[in-house]
Amino acid sequence: MKDLIASITGATPWDRLASLRDLVDGRIVFTTSFGIEDQALTHMIFDAALAIDVLTIDTGRLFPATYKLWADTEERYARRIQACYPDAQTVAAFVADWGINGFYHAREARSRCCGVRKVEPLQRALTGASGWVTGLRGDQSETRGAVALAGWDETHKLVKAAPLYDWTREQVVAFVETNGVPVNPLHAHGYPSIGCEPCTRAVAPGEPERAGRWWWESDESKECGLHIGTDGKLVRTKVAA
């Protein structure tokens, strides 16, 4: 596994995607949240007709603009983007305990909501997969500064890749503009990072990209749980021994 991961290379993100697909046997999944990075990767995957499944986790609390972008993207590429949904009974139990917007009042409630609406569906989405593509970039936040191109994800027991790990936001923006990739109009209104509607606000000039996510929490290392371990810290993929 160590040699395989070290062999995943490429000067550009699309080269890296092709390298990942060539070297990793079995199913590879790309999970998109329809952010600008994910739209760039969706374009690369669909344009090159790579055998990588593109799917999204529909939390049920996304912005209307995100749902429209989902439809626009499918129309643009004439491809379906698979949806993975949270378990309805589990969501109902959470809302019964905490209220529809209880996540504003306790960190525990917010973490639980993300767990129900994002983390558990992701676990199902990745079941049986050998590889996982993400839109993580190293300069998105201090927490994500150590993101690598590829490594072993111990939580899901697969190869996890971040083909845009060394790209800046400016490079991503230039790429989608050059290639006519549809993007969320909220990006132009101060939303560099877009998640669920009640948990995302516009950022002020000079604020970090992810400052608008769960802004009512004081913790600077704010993640939904998709990329963190049981200790609440970002999981840094590592080369397997």
Active site residue 196: no
Of 113, 196, 199, 224, the catalytic one is: 224
CB 70 within 8 A of CB 81: yes
- Residue pointed to by tokens 């139990």: 93
Distance between CA atoms of residues 76 and 87, nearest Å: 30
Q: Each residue of 116-128: pLDDT tens digit? A: 999 999 999 999 9
User: pLDDT tens per residue, the chain (241 residues)?
Assistant: 889 999 999 999 999 999 999 999 999 999 999 999 999 999 999 999 999 999 999 999 999 999 999 999 999 999 999 999 999 999 999 999 999 999 999 999 999 999 999 999 999 999 999 999 999 998 765 555 578 899 999 999 999 999 999 999 999 999 999 999 999 999 999 999 999 999 999 999 999 888 999 999 976 554 445 544 444 443 444 444 3
From CA 55, how far away is CA 72, in angstroms rounded?
Answer: 15
Q: Taking a C-beta distance cutoff of 8 angstroms, is the pair 148, 241 a contact? A: no
Contact call for residues 220 and 238 (beta carbons, < 8 A): no
Report CA Rg, the chain: 17
Check residue 147 and give its pLDDT: 84
pLDDT of residue 227: 41
Domains plus CATH for the chain?
2-212 (3.40.50.620)
Number of helical H runs and strand E runs in the chain: 8, 6
Q: Kindly report the pTM of this predicted structure.
A: 0.88
CA distance 38 to 14: 13
Alpha-carbon gap, residue 93 to 188, rounded angstroms:
36
Q: Are 15 and 167 in contact (CB under 8 A)?
A: no
Distance CA 230, CA 236 (A): 13
Per-residue confidence (pLDDT) for residue 239, from 0 to 100:
44
Q: By the 8 A CB rule, do 153 and 160 touch?
A: yes
